[in-house]
Amino acid sequence: MSLLEVDNLRVAFDTEDGRVQAVDGISFSVEKGKTLGIVGESGCGKSVASLTMLGLTRSMNSRIEGRVEFEGRDLLSIPETDLEAIRGNEVSMIFQDPLSSLHPFFKIGHQLSEAVLTHRDVSKGEAAKLAVEMLDLVGIPNAEARSHSYPHEFSGGMRQRVMIAMALINDPKLLIADEPTTALDVTTQAQILGLIDDLQEELGMSMILITHDLGVVAQNADEIAVMYAGQIVERSSVEELFFSPQHPYTWGLLGSIPRIDRSSEEPLIPVTGQPPSLIHPPGGCRFHPRCPYVQEACSTEQPSLETTGGGGTHHSACLLSETERKALWASLEKSPDPASAIAAAELKVARR
Amino acid sequence: MSSSETALLEIKHLVKHFPLTKGILFRKQVGAVQAVDDLSLSVAEGETVGLVGETGCGKSTVARMLVRLLDPTSGEIRFDGDDLASAKGGDLNTLRREIQIVFQDPYSALNPRKTVGAIIADPLVIHGIGKEGDDRKRMVQELMEQVGLSPEHYNRLPHEFSGGQRQRIGIARALALRPKLIVLDEPVSALDVSIQAQVVNLLSDLQKERDLSYLFVAHDLSVVRHVSDRIAVMYLGKIVEVAPAEEIFEKPIHPYTLALYSAVPKPDPSERTEKPIRLEGDLPSPTDPPSGCRFRTRCPWATDICTKAEPPLVDYGGGHLAACHHPRNVSRVDLESAQIAPASPITASDQMPAVE
Amino acid sequence: MLEYILRRVLWGVAMLFLVSGVIFVIFYLLPSADPATLRAGRQASPDQIERIRESLGLDRPVFIQYVDYMKQIFFHFDFGYSYQYETSVSSLIFDRLGPTASLTFGAAILWLLMGIPIGIISAVRARSLLDRSTMVISLALISAPVFWLGLISLYLFADDIGLIPILPGAGSYEPLSAGPIAWAGPLILPWTVLAAASAAVYARYLRSDMIDVMGEDYIRTARAKGLPERKVVMKHGVRSAITPVITLLGLDIGVLLAGNAILTESVFNIPGVGRLVLDAIDKADLPLIQGVTLFGAFFIVIFNLVVDIAYAYLDPRVRYDDL
């Protein structure tokens, strides 16, 4: 059985401009000890989805539907106090900006031991000792002395280590890491991702890694879900996603990132246009106004996430047939230009 | 391309120290943040030079000195032969027309109360170019069209545009004076990947059309690799390596460049087995940088000499320069023809590196 | 830190010199307020005025007069003599400080007790009926003039003229030495009136601060840790939002001690510094005006310093060594 099972999660916010459907019916699961990467651009709903799993978007203005089952319990329907007992204990989170995510006025030792005292019946002294041990484990030098420092006295990378220590101090079964390295420099990012990887192995926990960086998921995730405009458009194992992607948006993403490991002669092929409004999303497939391979049906019919390919683990939400997609990707793999792919696949594209 | 005859921009031994003061009534200088410390670099006509490095390495300080938002402590900035570092008054104004800057945050760099038309027209007004009214409006609308904005949006305010479009506004404004060089300070780091690619492509189209030179300052190595002809890597205020873009990550000589490249997560799961080189510790303070080689405190190959002597910037031929006592990817044969570059810092030792 | 305090004290002293100089110039150079003429009475001959001028030392150059004045303050703590009361200015001010301090500190405690809980609750229940109604009431209190509120309160509750005569009215001030009950009773109405507007200001201020703070990333972290919401608000939220309020408090107390409770003191006939100022201006009692103003400036400078030092303790990010 999966550790976490999300079924048809929908989150909407009522704003002055209208109702924003930030997450629109997403489903996925996370296996024990595995890492699920969720990728997408800003506003695609990846952060809202993760916050909602822990009840952190509950408010007067939000509408939440669906099921989030963690070890058999539906986190969306249990009372707030039960959720509090799970947060930071069985399921922890780390966030993008470690400076703004740590309280500026409390010493970090205090912030860590507070997490222990909230969930465990130990003395303050024991909690403080645990905090120091944990800081040591995540590689903070002089952990004992540093536990008396304030967040601003640490560097960006060290602060993220502190956040990780705080998230892991109660031995969670699931860690949700929301853009954990986006605010960090690349060598620091390598340190932090390496640390998370080591700790995950050591503690045997599962992880949801949310990022916009395809490189980060390629190196760290087992499974990947690609989100666009509140929906999952493709979900598969990491190898499948990079070696035989099955959705035009994924192709677009792969074509628009510059590659450090390849010659710069290859031009970037950006996805044209802008992400849609989530108040008035386009009808049919959300991606159709930007899709180079759009068909007549795409503007009216909403594709659902369906199994594609052989293994049964690859899912894609696209109205193109599997053969069409195979032919298109075969051409795109050689040259990322959509026009030549359309020609090669002899695809008829609907006029805009 | 680094020879001084063809260079459009020539930075020589540029220094920027921010003084630290202390005192009860009268403040005396007790130290300095050595943000940029003896940096030499050139940009040829039509060339894109990438300047990379991590937070606090001084790359943005360099960018700001080039447009004289900051005054250099010492050193020369030669633009088309004129010294920008010491130019004043009218000379400075003329030079300012030739060099423009585009900033990272496309929103905070635009006045929220001005229409897009007025923002782009600003440099024209300041420098008295074009006639007021329709003449300028036509010029601005041409610029908008060139950067991919629709000219009908002339009267809109910045907040009505998306991040990518705002960056286009910033680019249009920079283009208004027909500069020869544009300093791009993290121009795409605030943008999403799909939008980032649009702006990167726009920049390279404009470069071809207008024969522009770029100094592309960024921390994202992949983007820099994609856009640049040559790349300079900075660490703690100094250049550690300069090389043609296709060579620098294929054959990095400086251990820091190697670590940077290795730290970038490649969007290719088959490379997962290659664990990145994990640098230990944090960036040292620029107020009290390590003696000798500034990278030695985090370098896996550091030895005694790295503490004692600052490594000279050595020219290995083909425009590949690096400042390291223990260079990587360098053979004995390479070393025989190598020599200390004129761009080497004045304080650097003249001891040539050794190959084990 | 010590260096910072020392520097601030030195700046404070410099500031006081500047203030004293400006006051000196204003009062001694304005022809409409020639102290000798004022002193000599209505029908004085030019001769008499001249003699008074000489006896007061007013015939000497302004600069010399100023240096003399400062010397007296510096070496003898002598602010001169009040024309009106014929007593030393410093003793006059010290006599009046007690009532003003009683009024100020009592009112401050009261407005904190009212303002802080209202601010927190309004922020947590932002846009609720409770929030909206307290904010409307607070706006009314801020807009209401103090003298009007004072008179209304006397008309309602004062034991001499009130409709419901339950509290001591105007002019019944007793010092603390007369016993705590005798002291507090007459101050209840002035405290309330003085505190009303400030409580409203503090509630609104804290509310908006608190709403900002509750949207911070570290509050999300506190929730993600599993802390109960009450603790998230009362510990993590209030700890941040209260800091600017304390700044405000320090400055307000400084200003009130400087004599700014002038209206409340007048309405309730409390013999405080504010009343003294009013009196002094009315009678053109220049040494007194000068003394009170300098004292006021002194309190404001001191409390500014106290606020800055308190800030360094409350917000560990503030490092005065670097300034």
* C226 closest CB neighbour out of A88, A95, A104: A88
Question: How many C-alpha atoms does A147 have within 13 Å on its Cβ side?
Answer: 22
Residue C273 to residue C258: CA distance in whole angstroms: 7
CB–CB of B25 and C7 under 8 A?
A: yes
Report the gap between the CA of A141 and the closest CA in chain B (Å).
9
Instruction: Residue C313: count other Cβ atoms within 10 Å of its Cβ.
Output: 10
Residue of chain B nearest C1, judged by CA positions = B24
In a domain, C27, yes or no: no
pLDDT in the model for residue C32: 57
Q: Tokens in use for A348?
A: 């008829």
Task: Give me the residues paired with residue B11 across strands.
Answer: B41, B77
Residue C79 to residue C76: CA distance in whole angstroms: 9
CATH number where C180 lies = 1.10.3720.10
Contact C22, C28 (CB under 8 A): no
Residue A82 to residue A58: CA distance in whole angstroms: 14
Residues of the domain holding B71: 7-235
Which residues lie closer than 8 Å to B342 by C-beta, 6 or more apart? Answer: B40
Q: Tokens in use for C64?
A: 């010399």
- Partners for A (CB, 8 Å, 3+ pairs)? B, C
CB–CB of C228 and A84 under 8 A?
A: yes
How many independent structural domains does chain C possess?
1
Q: Is C305 left (phi over 0), alpha (psi -120 to 50) or beta?
A: alpha
Q: Torsion angle, CA of A191/A197/A202/A206, rounded to 10 degrees?
A: 140
A110 plus A132 within the same structural domain: yes
- What stretches in chain B show pLDDT beneath 50? 1-4
Say yes or no: C240 contacts chain A, CB-CB below 8 A.
Answer: yes
B39 plus B121 within the same structural domain: yes
B295 plus B224 within the same structural domain: no
Q: How many residues does chain A have?
A: 352
pLDDT band at C33, cuts 50/70/90?
A: low
Residue B34 to residue C5: CA distance in whole angstroms: 29
Residue A291 to residue A271: CA distance in whole angstroms: 8
Taking CB atoms and an 8 Å cut-off, how many pairs form between chains A and C?
Answer: 72
Q: How far is CA B224 from CA B48, B187, B196, B216, C231, in A?
A: 9, 11, 12, 7, 47
Residue A185 to residue B53: CA distance in whole angstroms: 9
Domain boundary among A169, A197, A232: A169
Residue of chain B nearest C11, judged by CA positions = B25
CB–CB of B25 and C3 under 8 A?
A: no
Angle A215-A216-A222 from CA coordinates, rounded to 5°: 105
Which range in A74-83, C10-19, C157-166 is most confidently predicted, on average pLDDT?
Answer: A74-83
- Partners for C (CB, 8 Å, 3+ pairs)? A, B
Q: E-strand spans in chain B?
A: 7-22, 28-44, 48-52, 74-79, 82-83, 99-102, 181-185, 213-218, 230-235, 238-244, 314-315, 321-322, 339-340
Contact B263, B277 (CB under 8 A): yes
Cα radius of gyration (chain C): 24
Residues 97-126 on A with a CB inside 8 Å of C are 97, 100-106, 114-115, 118-119
Task: Give me the residues paired with residue A87 across strands.
Answer: A91
One DSSP character per residue, A317-343 reads --SS-HHHHHHHHHHHHH---HHHHHH
Q: Tell me the mean pLDDT in the region A268-279.
A: 89
Tell me the pTM. Answer: 0.88
Say yes or no: B25 contacts chain C, CB-CB below 8 A.
Answer: yes
Contact B355, B328 (CB under 8 A): no
One DSSP character per residue, B266-319 reads PS-GGGTTSPPP---S-PPPTTSPPSSSTTGGG-TT--HHHHHSPPP-EE-STT
* C218 closest CB neighbour out of A102, A118, A119: A102
B215 plus B322 within the same structural domain: no
pLDDT in the model for residue C31: 57
Residues 216-275 on B with a CB inside 8 Å of A are 219, 221-223, 225-228, 245-246, 249, 259-272, 275
In a domain, B34, yes or no: yes
Q: Residue B279: its chain A contacts at CB < 8 A?
A: 187, 190-191
CATH number where A213 lies = 3.40.50.300
A329 plus A234 within the same structural domain: no
Q: Residue B201: its chain A contacts at CB < 8 A?
A: 267-268, 270
B138 plus B182 within the same structural domain: yes
pLDDT digits (tens, 9 = 90+) for B88-108: 888 888 888 899 999 887 678
In a domain, B273, yes or no: yes
Mean pLDDT of chain A: 93
B265 plus B219 within the same structural domain: no
Residue C208 to residue C200: CA distance in whole angstroms: 12
B268 plus B199 within the same structural domain: no
Which residues lie closer than 8 Å to A76 by C-beta, 6 or more apart? Answer: A9, A52, A55, A64, A66, A67, A68
pLDDT in the model for residue C45: 81
pLDDT in the model for residue C30: 67
B205 plus B61 within the same structural domain: yes
CB–CB of C316 and A92 under 8 A?
A: no
Interface test with chain B among A240, A244, A264, A291, by most B beta carbons within 10 Å:
A264
pLDDT in the model for residue A197: 92
Q: Residue B31: its chain C contacts at CB < 8 A?
A: none
Mean pLDDT of chain C: 86
Residue C321 has pLDDT above 80, yes or no: no
pLDDT band at C319, cuts 50/70/90?
A: low
pLDDT in the model for residue B1: 43
In a domain, B249, yes or no: no
Report the gap between the CA of B256 and the closest CA in chain A (Å).
10
In a domain, C24, yes or no: no
B187 plus B270 within the same structural domain: no
Q: What is the largest CA-CA distance in chain C?
A: 86
Handedness of CA A79, A84, A88, A90 (dihedral sign): negative
Residue of chain A nearest B245, judged by CA positions = A264
CB–CB of A269 and B54 under 8 A?
A: no
Residue C249 to residue B18: CA distance in whole angstroms: 37
Q: Residue A102: its chain C contacts at CB < 8 A?
A: 218, 221
Residue B136 to residue B125: CA distance in whole angstroms: 9
In a domain, B347, yes or no: no
Report the gap between the CA of A75 and the closest CA in chain B (Å).
31
Q: What is the ipTM of this complex?
A: 0.90
In a domain, B181, yes or no: yes
Strands A174-178 and A206-211, by their bridges, are: parallel
Report the candidate in A119, A32, A111 with the shortest Cα–Cα distance to residue A82: A119
How many independent structural domains does chain A possess?
3
CB–CB of C224 and A88 under 8 A?
A: yes
Report the candidate in B59, B57, B62 with the shortest Cα–Cα distance to residue B73: B62
CB–CB of C316 and A104 under 8 A?
A: yes
* A152 closest CB neighbour out of C216, C236, C317: C317
pLDDT digits (tens, 9 = 90+) for C295-314: 888 888 889 888 888 887 88
In a domain, C155, yes or no: yes
Which residues lie closer than 8 Å to A4 by C-beta, 6 or more apart? Answer: A29, A30, A53, A68, A69, A70, A174, A206, A208
Classify residue A239 by burial, with Cβ atoms within 10 Å: 0-12, 13-18, 19+: middle
* C217 closest CB neighbour out of A80, A97, A152: A97
Q: How many helices (DSSP H) and strands (DSSP E) are in chain C?
A: 14, 0
pLDDT in the model for residue C320: 59
Classify residue A342 by burial, with Cβ atoms within 10 Å: 0-12, 13-18, 19+: middle
Residue of chain A nearest B222, judged by CA positions = A260
Contact A64, A52 (CB under 8 A): yes
Residue of chain A nearest C217, judged by CA positions = A101
In a domain, B254, yes or no: no
A101 plus A148 within the same structural domain: yes
In a domain, B346, yes or no: no
CB–CB of A42 and B192 under 8 A?
A: yes
Q: Tokens in use for C323?
A: 């300034």
* B276 closest CB neighbour out of A190, A270, A274: A190
Q: Tokens in use for C200?
A: 């409203």
Classify residue A299 by burial, with Cβ atoms within 10 Å: 0-12, 13-18, 19+: middle
Residue of chain A nearest B271, judged by CA positions = A219
In a domain, B324, yes or no: yes
Q: Residue B25: its chain C contacts at CB < 8 A?
A: 7, 10
CB–CB of B227 and A214 under 8 A?
A: no
**Helical spans, DSSP H, in C56-179:** 62-76, 89-124, 129-143, 146-157
Q: Residue C241: its chain A contacts at CB < 8 A?
A: none
A77 plus A104 within the same structural domain: no
B67 plus B152 within the same structural domain: yes
Task: Give me the residues paired with residue B19 across strands.
Answer: B32
Residues of the domain holding C255: 95-283
| Amino acid letter, B118 | A
* B264 closest CB neighbour out of A215, A220, A242: A215
In a domain, C309, yes or no: no
Residues of the domain holding A115: 92-169
Q: Tell me the mean pLDDT in the region A98-113.
A: 95
Residues 200-229 on C with a CB inside 8 Å of A are 216-218, 220-229
Question: How many C-alpha atoms does B350 have within 13 Å on its Cβ side?
Answer: 2
- Strand (E) or helix (H) holding A316: strand A314-316
* C218 closest CB neighbour out of A87, A88, A100: A100
Residue of chain B nearest A218, judged by CA positions = B269
CATH number where B180 lies = 3.40.50.300
| Amino acid letter, C68 | D
pLDDT in the model for residue C34: 67
Angle A176-A182-A185 from CA coordinates, rounded to 5°: 130
- Partners for B (CB, 8 Å, 3+ pairs)? A, C
Which residues lie closer than 8 Å to C158 by C-beta, 6 or more apart? Answer: C165, C167, C168, C169, C170, C189
In a domain, A266, yes or no: no
B186 plus B221 within the same structural domain: yes
Domain boundary among A169, A191, A216: A169
Residue of chain B nearest A265, judged by CA positions = B226
Say yes or no: C234 contacts chain B, CB-CB below 8 A.
Answer: no
In a domain, A145, yes or no: yes
A297 plus A340 within the same structural domain: yes
pLDDT in the model for residue B3: 43
A65 plus A181 within the same structural domain: yes
pLDDT in the model for residue C26: 79
Task: Give me the residues paired with residue A18 across strands.
Answer: A15
In a domain, A133, yes or no: yes
Residue C35 has pLDDT above 80, yes or no: no
CA B57 to mean position of chain CA atoms: 11
* A56 closest CB neighbour out of C216, C223, C243: C223
pLDDT in the model for residue C17: 85
Strands A223-228 and A174-178, by their bridges, are: unpaired
Phi, psi of A267, deg, nearest 5? -75, 155
B211 plus B159 within the same structural domain: yes
Q: Residue B277: its chain A contacts at CB < 8 A?
A: 190
Q: Tokens in use for B321?
A: 């320069």
Contact C167, C84 (CB under 8 A): no
Contact B143, B175 (CB under 8 A): yes
In a domain, C135, yes or no: yes
pLDDT in the model for residue A53: 94
Task: Give me the residues paired with residue A62 across strands.
Answer: A13
Report the gap between the CA of A163 and the closest CA in chain C (Å).
9
A190 plus A128 within the same structural domain: no
Say yes or no: B24 contacts chain C, CB-CB below 8 A.
Answer: yes
A179 three-class SS: coil
pLDDT in the model for residue C256: 92
Report the gap between the CA of B78 and the closest CA in chain C (Å).
36
How many independent structural domains does chain B possess?
2
Report the gap between the CA of A204 and the closest CA in chain C (Å).
20
Q: Residue B268: its chain A contacts at CB < 8 A?
A: 218, 242, 261
